[in-house]
């Protein structure tokens, strides 16, 4: 009887360990998928931001083009006007004022669009931070550094870790494991290699 009880206890212990292992794997899988969703949402926000910038630039350029076209015919119109008539002389001045008023508005829109376009995405920020480091960094260390350097951004460790894994998958970063900790370093950039075909094309 004691042997049966012992065998039953061992089976129960094995089942408990198996269920605990399955539960742990399930939890980790949920965390992984959640991190991927957050990373995809971050990429979507970056694409939406780029779309807004491009639309603003397109509107600014389309506004500047009619202003330039309207300024061109004003010179022959002044030459053809009769010197005795005083009213037509005022019209080009009014046109010039309107054109001058439109140009600063177009410049302001272009400046705003360029300022928005200058803001890098989270992927670019993380990659640039890695390239500046001489030693491997963990996701938590990178998150802390980015939070201090970019207080206007909402940087989460889970999103940073997922972004780092994406850089590793694309060959832009390397991952090293020390015990239970994971560290990341930037991949070596070989810029001179692809520059040669461009120089040859420019020479031809």
Task: Specify if 88 maps to a domain.
Answer: no
Torsion sign, CA atoms 75, 80, 82, 85:
negative
Whole-number Å distance between alpha carbons of 71 and 96: 7
Residues 21-36: tens digit of each pLDDT: 999 999 999 999 999 9
Task: Specify if 4 maps to a domain.
Answer: no
The domain total for the chain is: 1
CATH number of domain containing 129: 1.10.10.10
pLDDT at 92: 54
Residue 125 has a CB neighbour count (10 Å cut-off) of: 19
Global pTM exceeds 0.85: no
Task: Specify if 193 maps to a domain.
Answer: no
| pLDDT category of residue 144 using cuts at 50, 70 and 90 | very high
Task: Specify if 165 maps to a domain.
Answer: yes
Residues 88-101: tens digit of each pLDDT: 555 555 555 555 55
Task: Specify if 156 maps to a domain.
Answer: yes
Domain that holds residue 147: 120-187
Task: Specify if 138 maps to a domain.
Answer: yes
Q: For residues 136 and 184, is the Cβ–Cβ distance under 8 A?
A: yes
Task: Specify if 171 maps to a domain.
Answer: yes
Whole-number Å distance between alpha carbons of 54 and 4: 75
What percentage of the chain reaches a pLDDT higher than 70? Answer: 63
Task: Specify if 99 maps to a domain.
Answer: no
């Amino acid at each position: 009887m004691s042997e049966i009880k012992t065998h039953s206890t061992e089976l129960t212990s094995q089942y408990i360990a198996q269920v605990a292992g399955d539960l742990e794997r399930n939890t980790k899988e949920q965390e992984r998928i959640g991190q991927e969703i957050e990373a995809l949402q971050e990429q979507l926000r970056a694409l939406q931001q780029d779309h807004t910038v491009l639309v603003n630039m397109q509107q600014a350029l389309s506004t500047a083009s009619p202003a330039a076209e309207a300024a061109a015919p004003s010179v022959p119109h002044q030459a053809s006007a009769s010197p005795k008539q005083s009213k037509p002389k005022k019209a080009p001045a009014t046109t010039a004022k309107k054109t001058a008023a439109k140009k600063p508005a177009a410049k302001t829109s272009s400046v705003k669009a360029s300022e928005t376009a200058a803001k890098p995405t989270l992927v670019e920020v993380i990659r640039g931070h890695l390239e500046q480091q001489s030693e491997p960094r963990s996701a938590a260390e990178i998150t802390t550094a980015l939070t201090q350097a970019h207080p206007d951004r909402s940087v989460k460790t889970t999103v940073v870790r997922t972004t780092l894994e994406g850089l590793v998958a694309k060959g832009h970063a390397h991952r090293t494991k020390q015990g239970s900790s994971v560290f990341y370093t930037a991949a070596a950039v070989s810029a001179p290699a692809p520059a040669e075909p461009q120089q040859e094309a420019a020479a031809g």
